[in-house]
Chain A
Amino acid sequence: MNQFPHGWGRPRDDVYGAYDSSYLNSTEPVSHTQRPIVTGTSVLGVKFNGGVIIAADNIASYGSLARYDNVERLLQVGTHTVVGAGGDISDMQYLHLLLDNLLIKEQYPADDHALLAPQVHTYISRVLYQRRNKFDPLWNSILTAGADPKTSEPFLSYVDLRGTTYTAPALATGYGAHLAVPILRRHVPDEEACASLSQEDAEKLVEECMKVLWYRDARSGVKYSWAVVTKDGVTTGNNKIENQSWKFAEMIKGYGAQNV
């Protein structure tokens, strides 16, 4: 097992052998051991002119088994925020409960104040950092996407199980950090590039990246959810990878059915 998000649920021990952590052995007793059980894979997010798009597939894996195929990993939080989670699904659901309660408490004063993406991101990052300080991490890597209802300013940020946070024009968790981010960065290397990326192009870009992940990430699914946040609020939808071509597989030994 690998503690990086992209290592979750793989490699398969029966193929590669168990993770050799003998060099880590300390003389002290181990007090906390934890690992993710049912996991979700990558989440993608890209800022564009006037908003942000976020996507995650609907698979929840049990190791290498695609255990559930209709899991929603994007959660709308308030009017202008969507939170997408990779990693342990039960920890994600617990986090959803915390966010739910946060929103309800925000509702009590009945004023005009509303939580926006930066606040939601900070809240999640504090929860995750505090849990890592307790040696009892919430095993997730999370993207928070949002847009300011007044200025349209898009917001996109990452936080993971150690409380590490960062923000960028395009982000991806897990395998997506390796496969999708290089593609995304080619289109949006910096904030200026985001400002000249249309929503339509951003949607196409995400579609393309989800397809690459479907081809190359064995824990990904063919169905995925997406959400777009602009100053007008959140629109969501579901998509399926279309126009697949597995022709390349014939050329690769060990990929498809071969007689050699």
Chain B
Amino acid sequence: MASQYMLPHVQQPPSFHSTASQPRQHQWSPYTENGGVILGIAGKDYVIIAGDTRSSEGYSINTRTARKIFDVGSGIVLGVVGMSADGEELARKVARRIDDYKRNHDKHITVNAAAVMLSRILYAKRFFPYYCQPLLGGLDEDGVGAIYTYDYVGSFEREASRAFGAAASLITPFLDNQINLKNQFVPGTNGDEPRKPGDLPMDRVEKIVKDAFTSAVERHIEVGDGLQLVRVTRPPPREAMEDEEEVDEREKTAGGGVLTEVMSELKKD
């Protein structure tokens, strides 16, 4: 049914041919597309989800400071790209359901359970889907980084890295090469021995993420302005946390992981 509605990127300029004799037809579309790109990478004990902060409609930049990554509670992050109104609604709904879970069961939801829940939420709107691609991240029960990726209606799988949104096609091959080490070979083997993708340290991944965005900004008009980067990491061991309040706060708010957000600039042209 989604295809029945007009999406903005297929909009055409008004026709200069006189079509006055034909009956006028106009179907309003409940959908729009706000551009932007998000990216998630899972490491052995961390997750990074990042997104640009530009929100646009057609050729207009609506704002340069829109966040696409949301803290939905219990140490879980949700990135959404597509139609921002649907994305924000989805984030509110997920946050609410994660909160409900905690109140009902007196424990934090696991990221894999939350992943299934998100799938159900999306499928519940199978015939009027949320027009956004969600990317859910957190640490699983073993403390290992997990990224779950979805299509509009709830198909999902766990992946190591994924880019969604306007410049996904630009970033994906870059991630293939830099994260999954595709087409890279062990030096001195004359291209016989492929490099094996392994556990990249988080600071290295953050650099890759930033490079991915700065490159996407150069080549895609809907990407730019600012970078919102959210890390989910394991909490420091309890004895290392001297501050009693900090311990309390973590018990209350965080599930498997601790969230930190870093904002930085991207080109604004």
Q: Which of the candidate stretches A82-90, A97-105, A165-173, A208-216 sits at the interface with the other chain? A: A165-173
B31-A166 in contact (CB<8A): no
Contact bitstring B2-36, A, C-beta under 8 A = 1, else 0: 01101010111011111110101111111110100
A25 to B175 CA separation, bound complex (whole angstroms): 39
Answer yes or no: B66 CB below 8 A from chain A CBs.
yes
Q: Which of B109-127 contact A (CB under 8 A)?
A: none
Bound form: Cα–Cα A205–B31 in Å: 34
Nearest Cβ on chain B to A158's Cβ, whole angstroms? 7
In the assembled complex, B69 has its CB within 8 A of some CB on chain A: no
A13 to B32, CA, bound (A): 24
Residues 58-99 of B contacting A (Cβ, < 8 Å): 58, 60, 62-66, 83-85, 88-89
Indicate with 1 or 0, residue by residue over A3-41, a CB within 8 angstroms of chain B CB atoms.
Answer: 110000001011011111111111010101111000000
- Chain B residues closer than 8 Å to A22, beta-carbon distance: 25
Q: Which residue of A lies closest to B128 (CB)?
A: A133
Number of interface residues of A (CB under 8 A): 41
**In the complex, which of the residues B26, B32, B62, B65 contacts A1, with contact meaning CB atoms closer than 8 Å?**
B26
B residues with CB within 8 A of A: 1, 3-4, 6, 8, 10-12, 14-20, 22, 24-32, 34, 55, 57-58, 60, 62-66, 83-85, 88-89, 128
Chain A residue contacts of B4, Cβ below 8 A = 26, 28
Q: Which 6 A-B residue pairs are closest in the complex by CB-CB distance?
A: A20-B15, A163-B85, A166-B63, A168-B63, A26-B4, A164-B85
User: What's the nearest-Cβ distance from chain B to residue A150, in Å?
Assistant: 24
CA–CA, A11 and B10, complex, Å: 19
Q: Is the CB of B14 within 8 A of A166?
A: no
State whether B84 touches A164 (Cβ < 8 A).
yes
B58 to chain A, nearest CB (A): 7
Question: Smallest CB-CB separation from A131: which chain B residue?
Answer: B30
A177 interface residue (CB < 8 Å to B)? yes
B30 partner, pick from A1, A2, A137, beta carbons under 8 A: A137
B85 touches A162 (CB 8 A): yes
- Tell me the dominant secondary structure on chain B's binding face: loop
Q: How far is the CA of A25 from the CA of B8 in the complex (A)?
A: 15
In chain B, what residue has the closest Cβ to A191? Answer: B65
Please tell me if the beta carbons of A17 and B16 are within 8 angstroms of each other in the complex.
yes
Residue numbers in B under 8 Å from A28 (CB-CB): 1, 4
Instruction: Please indicate the chain B residues that have their CB under 8 angstroms from the CB of A223 in the complex.
Output: none
Q: Are A35 and B85 within 8 A (Cβ)?
A: no
A195 CB to closest chain B CB, in angstroms? 15
Contact B25 A137 (CB under 8 A): no
Asked whether B17 lies within 8 Å of A178 as measured between CB atoms, the reply is: no
The binding surface of chain A is classed by DSSP as loop
Contacts of B83 in A (CB 8 A): 162, 164
> A23 to chain B: which residues have CB within 8 Å?
10, 12
Q: Could you show 27 A-B contacts with beta carbons less than 8 Å apart?
A: A2-B11, A4-B58, A11-B14, A13-B20, A16-B16, A17-B16, A18-B19, A19-B14, A19-B15, A20-B12, A22-B25, A23-B12, A24-B6, A24-B25, A26-B3, A28-B4, A30-B25, A33-B28, A132-B30, A162-B85, A164-B32, A164-B34, A164-B85, A166-B55, A167-B65, A168-B65, A190-B64
- In the bound complex, residues from chain B placing their C-beta under 8 Å from that of A16 are 14-16
Q: B63: which A residues are within 8 A, CB to CB?
A: 166-168
Complex-state Cα separation, A251 to B4, whole angstroms = 46
**How far apart sit A3 and B14, CA to CA, in the bound complex (Å)?**
12
B55 vs chain A, min Cβ distance (A):
5
- A129 at interface (Cβ–Cβ under 8 A)? yes
A135 contacts across to B, CB distance below 8 A? 28, 30
- Report yes or no: B24 in contact with A19, Cβ–Cβ below 8 A: yes
Residues from chain A with a CB closer than 8 A to the CB of B28 are: 3, 32-35, 135, 137
In the complex, the answer to whether A17 meets B27 with C-beta atoms within 8 Å is no
**What's the Cα separation between A190 and B31 when bound, in Å?**
29
- Per the bound structure, the CA–CA distance linking A224 and B25 in Å amounts to 34
Residues of A close to B85: CB separation below 8 A: 129, 132, 162-165
17 A-B pairs besides A33-B28, A137-B28 with CB distance below 8 A are A1-B26, A2-B14, A3-B29, A16-B15, A17-B14, A18-B20, A18-B22, A20-B19, A25-B25, A26-B27, A129-B85, A129-B89, A137-B30, A166-B84, A168-B62, A181-B60, A190-B64
In the bound assembly, the distance between CA atoms of A67 and B34 in angstroms comes to 34
If A17-B14, A28-B4 touch, whether A165 touches B84 (CB-CB below 8 Å) is yes
Q: Are A4 and B3 in contact (CB under 8 A)?
A: no
